[in-house]
Amino acid sequence: MALAVVALGATRGVGAQALVPTPRQARGPFYPLELPLDSDNDLTRVAGSATRARGEITDLAGRVLDERGQPLAEARVEIWQCDANGRYHHPYDSGSTEPDPGFQGYGQYLTGADGAYRFRTIRPVPYPGRAPHIHFAVTRPGYERLITQMYVEGAPENPGDFLLSAVPDPVARRALIVPFGPSPTPEQARWVAHFDLVLAAEGRAGRS
């Protein structure tokens, strides 16, 4: 069942200056080959399963904006990430640990007039060679498709992550690193995080 309400966290202010499009990152090898039947915005529960996902439940939210800071409606936001065991629900992931059957692994959300999206997921965990991260793909007519990754502020693996370190501009690199704060509703989630996404108009992605 789709998640209806999630704490949005503090919304970042949008100033008068033009916003810089969110830096792009590699999609990685574990985007689903076939979208799961359960692909709503609550990744902590799988339809038909009574088991909740392992890990630290997190309410993740933000807005999809254009370069003027205006919210974008009808933007499709997709996320995917490994489970608490460091496994993706993907046939190419041949890790030694068992995947968590209670974790959905992938979700999607269509923004409304306010440009907001929201997911309930788990706080991402590291696995060999990578810092904790969540993959994002955002699609909206008239704008370049954005594929990027979000990282956890303070994670000790961040400085050694080859993809994060490959973003040359420190300001752009910092835009991908998000603080996780205590949830105001700890009975529902342990953490909240807020990550705004700025899309470039078609033909302008190379200027980001």
Instruction: Kindly state whether residue 185 falls inside one of the protein's structural domains.
Output: yes
* pLDDT for residue 106 is more than 60: yes
Instruction: Kindly state whether residue 207 falls inside one of the protein's structural domains.
Output: no
Residue found by looking up tokens 């205006």 in the block: 70
Q: Give the C-alpha separation, 177 to 192, whole Å.
A: 14
Helix residue spans in the chain (DSSP H):
162-165, 170-174
Instruction: Kindly state whether residue 128 falls inside one of the protein's structural domains.
Output: yes
CATH, residue 190:
2.60.130.10
Instruction: Kindly state whether residue 186 falls inside one of the protein's structural domains.
Output: yes
What pLDDT shows up at residue 13?
45
DSSP structure class, residue 104: -
| Number of Cα atoms under 13 Å in the Cβ half of residue 52 | 10
Q: Give the C-alpha separation, 207 to 198, whole Å.
A: 13
Task: Provide the number of structural domains found in the chain.
Answer: 1
| Number of Cα atoms under 13 Å in the Cβ half of residue 188 | 14
Write down the mean pLDDT value for the chain.
90
Instruction: Kindly state whether residue 149 falls inside one of the protein's structural domains.
Output: yes
* Chain segment 140-170, per-residue pLDDT in tens: 999 999 999 999 999 999 999 999 999 999 9
Amino acid residing at 159: P
What pLDDT shows up at residue 96?
79
Instruction: Kindly state whether residue 93 falls inside one of the protein's structural domains.
Output: yes
* Chain segment 67-76, per-residue pLDDT in tens: 999 999 999 9
Q: Which residue has the higher pLDDT, 179 or 92?
A: 179
Q: Kindly state the average pLDDT of the residues 62-66.
A: 98
Instruction: Kindly state whether residue 42 falls inside one of the protein's structural domains.
Output: no
> Bridge partners of 197?
64
Expressed as residue numbers, the domain containing 74 is 57-201
| Total-model pTM | 0.89
User: 172, exposed or middle or buried, with CB in 10 Å at 0-12, 13-18, 19+?
Assistant: middle
Give ∠ CA 134-135-139 in degrees, rounded to 5: 135
* pLDDT for residue 64 is more than 50: yes
Instruction: Kindly state whether residue 2 falls inside one of the protein's structural domains.
Output: no
